Chains A and B, each alone.
Chain A
Amino acid sequence: MIRLESSSVPTWAIAPEVGTLDQRGRTFSLVVIGDPGSRHLPAARAIAEAWTAQLAARPAGAVVHRELPAEAAVAVLTADLHRALVGHRILLTGTARDCLAVRAAVLAAGAEDDEVVIGVVDATERTVWCVHCAATTVTTAALEGETSCSGCSRRLVVHPHVSRRTGHHLGYMADAEEQPWSWPEPRA
Chain B
Amino acid sequence: MAGTTGMSGSVRERLRLVVVALDDSVPGIRSLVLADAGGAPLPPFTPGSHVVLEVPAGPPGSARPRPTANAYSLTGENAHPLDYRISVLRAREGGGSAWVHDLAVGDRVTALGPRSGFAPVQRAAKHLLLGAGIGVTPLVSHLRSAVRWGRDAELVHLHRSGAGAHAADLAELAARGARVTTVTDRESFTALLDDLLRTQPFGTHLYCCGPAGFMELVTAAAARSGWPASRVHTESFGVEALDPGAPFQVAVAGRTVEVPAGTSLLEALEDAGLAVPNLCRQGVCGECRVSVTVPEGGRLVHRDLYLDDDEKRAGRCAMACVSRALPTSGAAADLEVHL
Select A110's contact among B125, B198, B225, beta carbons within 8 Å.
B125
Q: Are B199 and A112 in contact (CB under 8 A)?
A: no
Minimum Cβ distance to chain B for residue A105 (Å): 14
Contact of A25 among B197, B226, B229, B230 (CB under 8 A): B226
Q: B230: nearest residue on chain A (CB-CB)? A: A112
Q: Are A85 and B201 CB-contacts (below 8 A) given A110-B123, A112-B231, A114-B228?
A: yes
* A132 is an interface residue with CB less than 8 A from chain B: no
Total B residues in contact with A, Cβ cutoff 8 Å: 19
From 102 to 149 in chain A, residues with beta carbon under 8 angstroms from any chain B beta carbon are 110-115
**How far apart are the CA atoms of A81 and B200 in the complex, in Å?**
12
| Cα separation A87 to B231 with both chains bound (whole Å) | 10
**Closest partner residue, chain A, to B222 (CB atom):** A86
**Chain A: minimal CB distance from B29 (Å):** 32
A36 to B119, CA, bound (A): 45
Select B202's contact among A22, A24, A81, A114, beta carbons within 8 Å: A81
**Contact string against B for A residues 52-75, beta-carbon threshold 8 Å, 1 for contact and 0 otherwise:** 000000000000000000000000
Does B201 contact A86, Cβ atoms closer than 8 Å? yes
Minimum C-beta distance from B113 to chain A (A):
29
| Interface assignment of A154: CB less than 8 Å from any CB of chain B | no
Contact, CB under 8 Å: A86 / B200:
yes
Residue B189 is within 8 A (CB to CB) of chain A in the complex: no
- Of chain B, the residue at the smallest CB distance from A83 is B202
Measured between alpha carbons, how far is A111 from B125 in the docked complex, in Å?
A: 10
Interface string of B216-231 (1 = CB under 8 A from A): 0000000111111111
Which B184-200 residues have a C-beta within 8 angstroms of A? 197-200
In the assembled complex, B49 has its CB within 8 A of some CB on chain A: no
Q: Is A159's beta carbon under 8 Å from chain B?
A: no
Mark out the residues of chain A between 86 and 104 whose CB falls within 8 Å of any chain B CB in the assembled complex: 86-89
Rounded to whole Å, the gap between the CB of B313 and the closest CB of chain A is: 11
Closest to A111 in B: B202
A: number of interface residues (CB 8 Å): 19
Q: Are A86 and B230 in contact (CB under 8 A)?
A: no
Whole-angstrom distance between the alpha carbons of A82 and B203 in the complex? 9
Q: CA separation between A25 and B123, bound complex, in Å?
A: 21
Kindly state whether residue A176 has any CB partner on chain B within 8 Å: no
Q: How far is the CA of A185 from the CA of B226 in the complex (A)?
A: 55
Q: Answer yes or no: A4 CB below 8 A from chain B CBs.
A: no
Q: Which of A84, A87, A110, A113 contacts B227 (CB 8 A)?
A: A87
Closest Cβ neighbor of A81 among chain B residues: B202
In the complex, are the beta carbons of B198 and A26 less than 8 A apart?
A: yes
> Do B223 and A110 touch across chains, with their CB atoms under 8 A apart?
no
* Residue numbers in B under 8 Å from A87 (CB-CB): 198, 225-227
Asked if A85 and B228 make an inter-chain contact with CB atoms under 8 angstroms apart, the answer reads no
Given A85-B199, A86-B200, A112-B231, A24 contacting B226 (CB threshold 8 A): yes
Q: Within the complex, what minimum Cβ distance (angstroms) separates B134 from chain A?
A: 27
Contacts of A88 in B (CB 8 A): 202, 226
Is there contact, CB below 8 Å, between A110 and B228? no
Inter-subunit contact B198/A85 (CB<8 Å): yes
> Given known contacts A85-B198, A85-B199, A86-B201, is B228 in contact with A115 (CB within 8 Å)?
yes
Residues of A within 8 A of B125 (CB): 110
Partner pick for B226 among A26, A81, A82, A110, CB 8 A cutoff: A26
Complex Cα distance, B102 from A149, in Å, reads 72
CB-based nearest A residue for B202: A84
A116 to chain B, nearest CB (A): 10
Collect the chain B residues with CB atoms within 8 Å of residue A81's CB.
202-203
Question: Which residues of A are found within 8 Å of B226, using beta-carbon distances?
Answer: 24-27, 86-89
Interface residues of B in 157-204 (CB under 8 A from A): 197-204
A87→B227 CA distance, assembly (Å): 5
Contact code string A137-177 (vs B, CB < 8 Å = 1, else 0): 00000000000000000000000000000000000000000
Bound Cα distance A113, B230 (Å): 8
In the complex, what residue of chain A is closest to B199 when comparing beta carbons?
A85
Are B201's CB and A114's CB within 8 A?
no
Cα-based distance from A115 to B231 in the complex (angstroms): 10
Residues on B with beta carbons closer than 8 Å to the beta carbon of A110? 123, 125, 202-203
Q: Which residues of B lie under 8 Å from residue A112 when comparing CB positions? A: 228, 230-231
Distance between Cα atoms of A81 and B197 in the complex (Å): 17
Do residues B225 and A114 form an inter-chain contact, with CB atoms below 8 A?
no
- 9 further A-B contacts with Cβ under 8 Å, apart from A86-B225, A88-B202, A115-B228, are A81-B202, A81-B203, A85-B200, A86-B197, A86-B226, A87-B226, A110-B203, A112-B228, A114-B230
Sampled A-B contacts (16; CB under 8 Å): A26-B225, A26-B226, A81-B203, A84-B202, A86-B200, A86-B201, A86-B204, A86-B225, A86-B231, A88-B202, A89-B226, A111-B202, A112-B228, A114-B228, A115-B228, A115-B230
Which 7 interchain pairs have the tightest Cβ spacing? A87-B226, A110-B203, A84-B202, A26-B226, A112-B230, A114-B228, A86-B200
